[in-house]
Amino acid sequence: MDTGDAGAGGQGMTVDVLAHRAGMTVRNVRAHAARGLLPPPRLQGRTGYYGPEHLARLELITQLQEQGFALSAIERLVSSTPRQSAEEALVQYLHMLAPWAPEPALEMDGAELAQWLGVDVSPDTWEALADAGLLAHLDGGRVRVPNPGLVRAGAEAVRLGMPAADLIVMREELTTHVGAVTARFVDLFRRTVWAEYVGDGLPADRTQQVRDVVGALQPVAAQALLATFRESMPAAISLFLDEVSDAFERGSTTEGPAGADSGG
């Protein structure tokens, strides 16, 4: 409820009103302020009042967090940027992350989840999915799937006969290895394109160029990963076939003499 406004148009929001409009708790707003993520409020007596710029800052912080930006990184960005430019810098980072934004999270009634997946899921598997952060239980019997594409891929693998528990473990391995690859791509960007951009004083006429490079990194990195996977998979399948063939040959060698004796 917006009963705390001290001015028209939200020019004087109390911390309670600001938190309500930002979709946060008052505790979260105060924590952000304590970390220096919010400009100081306008004081009237002993009460602080916040304006649209504070609400915009909180919304930017929320969007950055939803796209995987660590709060500590946002804090460093804000603290190292002149106050009048912090908003622009946050928007710049948000635009840079936009091409990499994951598929939006999906919410639905818990009873609809099994039908959406298209596979039978045991209670233990539901619990394992929740423990792995692939599923979140909400109020009212609803559930939230943070990464629908990943869960759908897992469900397809289950339909192919692979155990869900093993796939959940494999997801952790994928996160580790893919995380290392993405870190290398980002580090390469930081040491080249970004370092040159910063060294030249962050010229405004090259801002879009930097954003374009970040956006183009996604298909380039995805293509490199897929090409490497296609190169590695035949070798893995070949090794598997060699092992199977060896096992059959050992079995034939063991059973051969016995078969010859019985036929004599």
Q: Could you tell me the CA-to-CA distances from 141 to 61, 105, 110, 119, 128 in Å, in that order?
A: 29, 17, 6, 20, 18
Task: State which residues form the domain around 48.
Answer: 8-99
Q: Is 35 within the bounds of a domain?
A: yes
What stretches in the chain show pLDDT beneath 50?
A: 1-10, 257-264
* Distance separating alpha carbons of residues 162 and 244, to the nearest angstrom: 19
What's the total number of domains in the chain?
1
Q: Which pLDDT does position 101 carry in this prediction?
A: 66
Q: Is 87 within the bounds of a domain?
A: yes
Q: Is 27 within the bounds of a domain?
A: yes
Q: Is 180 within the bounds of a domain?
A: no
pTM of the model: 0.54
Q: Is 76 within the bounds of a domain?
A: yes
Q: Is 197 within the bounds of a domain?
A: no
Q: Is 81 within the bounds of a domain?
A: yes
Q: Which residues on neighbouring strands pair with residue 50, listed in sequence order?
A: 13
* Distance separating alpha carbons of residues 15 and 60, to the nearest angstrom: 17
* Residue type (1 letter), 108: M
Any idea what the CATH number is for the domain that residue 94 is in?
1.10.1660.10
Q: Which pLDDT does position 3 carry in this prediction?
A: 45
Q: Which pLDDT does position 4 carry in this prediction?
A: 47
